[in-house]
């Protein structure tokens, strides 16, 4: 059977790793109502178009920063506040929730894509409502295109509200990414790195992901052990980019190098906006590349607060089509598509 929405009254201590607890609680406020309603995505009148991060103008960057200042200024117990939103990731990924007596983990399985889609969906709506701009959309970090294969410049401006000092200092100022980063910088020139990245994208999206279970990850149901196995993109480049951004000076490579702290880096949501875009693109690549139809997947539920701080249960089945959720992506070339090694 499917994994139900977590029981918030049983949310406990989150663990960084081994027996190291997160030194604060990651649990959300408990809603006043007992029966948390299902979320119905509001009817779409106009799409939010998520822009590629490297293409946005100063006006967009100013708005984005303003939304973050306001989010950071909300009271800490407001479920829309910066820390409460970051803690969603901590609670769902560091063992704070239990389901069927076992730890709930939204990574390393088929829950990876839908969980993060819902997570950034509400996050985007919260930012938009804080600046009263119903068209505001998160930028996607276009790391699958050579033009986007570095930390987007807007995140690298000290003193702004989307800057974060807990990042790898070597990987700033346009340093070209290695999408397969495993803790050491490769010895290669920039052109080689870009070519390697495109080859890697071809492999993870096409060669190694011809069917749903290889792309999305293994089934994860009520009562089964967490972390049955991840899909191609979750593993590489997603996990690699987390490590590439994370700060090796911090004990657990905070913020991006650990689940509990990742949501404290605004770059996280841009990384994930592009992961989300990969889901959409993958379904256009043909063959057996379609959404999972297993009812245990479709009926899995998560809990979130929306932009009005109202609690909701959401289902995986309601997030398969991002257009129904009211957003699309600014079109961009997909150069890896023809990058057969
Ligand atoms: Cu929930 Cu990029 O991780």
Question: pLDDT tens-digit profile of 216-265?
Answer: 999 999 999 999 999 999 999 999 999 999 999 999 999 999 999 999 99
Catalytic residues: 89, 107, 116, 238, 242, 259, 272
**How many other β-carbons are positioned within 10 Å of the β-carbon of residue 24?**
12
Separation of CA 259 and ligand 1 centre (Å): 7
What per-residue confidence (pLDDT) applies to 44? Answer: 95
Q: How far is the centre of ligand 1, averaged over its atoms, from the C-alpha of 178 (Å)?
A: 18
In angstroms, rounded to a whole number, what is the distance separating the alpha carbons of residues 144 and 110? 22
What pLDDT score was predicted for residue 322? 98
Q: What are 166's two structure tokens?
A: 């807990």
Read off the DSSP letter of residue 21.
Answer: E
Please tell me the predicted confidence (pLDDT) of residue 341. Answer: 76
Residue 304 to residue 318: CA distance in whole angstroms: 14
Atom of ligand 1 nearest to the CA of 272: 2
Closest CA to 293 of 233, 216, 229: 216
Residue 81: predicted pLDDT: 98
User: What are the respective helix, strand and coil percentages of the chain, to the nearest 5?
Assistant: 40, 10, 50
Whether residue 134 is predicted with pLDDT greater than 80 in this model: the reply is yes
Q: What percent of the chain has pLDDT over 70?
A: 100
Residue 242 in contact with ligand 1 by CB distance below 6 A: yes
For ligand 1, atom 3, name the residue with the nearest CA. Answer: 259
Residue 126 has pLDDT above 90, yes or no: yes
pLDDT of residue 198: 98
Output the average pLDDT for the chain. Answer: 97
Q: What is the pLDDT of residues 276-294, one digit of tens each?
A: 999 999 999 999 999 999 9
* List of residues 6+ apart from 38 with CB closer than 8 A: 312, 313, 314, 315
Q: For CA atoms 158, 164, 166, 171, give the dihedral sign.
A: negative
Polymer length of the chain: 341
Using 50, 70 and 90 to split pLDDT, how confident is the model at 340? confident
Calpha distance 304→86 (Å, rounded): 12
């Amino acid at each position: 059977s499917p994994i139900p929405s977590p029981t918030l009254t049983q949310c406990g201590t989150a663990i960084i790793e081994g027996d190291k607890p997160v030194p604060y609680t990651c649990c959300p406020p408990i809603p006043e109502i007992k029966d948390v309603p299902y979320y119905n995505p509001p009817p779409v009148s106009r799409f939010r178009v998520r822009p590629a991060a490297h293409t946005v103008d100063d006006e967009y960057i100013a708005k984005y920063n303003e939304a973050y200042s306001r989010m950071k200024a909300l009271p800490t117990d407001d479920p829309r506040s910066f820390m409460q939103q970051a803690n969603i990731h901590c609670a769902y990924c560091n063992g704070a929730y239990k389901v069927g007596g076992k730890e709930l983990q939204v990574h390393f399985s088929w829950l990876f894509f839908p969980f993060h889609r819902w997570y950034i969906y509400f996050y985007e709506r919260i930012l938009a409502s804080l600046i009263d701009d119903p068209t505001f959309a998160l930028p996607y970090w276009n790391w699958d295109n050579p033009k986007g294969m570095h930390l987007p410049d807007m995140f690298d401006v000290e003193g702004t509200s989307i800057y974060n000092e807990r990042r790898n200092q070597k990987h700033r100022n346009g340093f070209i990414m290695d999408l397969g980063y495993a803790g050491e910088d490769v010895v290669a020139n920039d052109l080689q790195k870009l070519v390697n990245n495109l080859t890697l994208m071809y492999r993870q999206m096409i060669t190694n992901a011809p069917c749903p279970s290889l792309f999305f990850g293994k089934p994860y149901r009520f009562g089964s052990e967490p972390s049955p196995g991840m899909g191609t993109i979750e593993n590489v480049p997603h996990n690699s980019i987390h490590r590439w951004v994370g700060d090796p000076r911090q004990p657990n490579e905070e913020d991006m190098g650990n689940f509990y702290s990742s949501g404290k880096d605004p770059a996280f949501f841009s990384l994930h906006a592009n992961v989300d875009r990969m889901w959409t693109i993958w379904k256009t690549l043909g063959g057996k590349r379609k959404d999972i139809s297993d009812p245990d997947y479709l009926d899995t539920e998560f809990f979130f607060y929306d932009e009005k701080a109202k609690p909701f249960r959401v289902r995986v089945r309601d997030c398969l089509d991002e257009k129904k959720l009211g957003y699309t992506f600014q079109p961009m070339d997909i150069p890896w598509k023809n990058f057969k090694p």
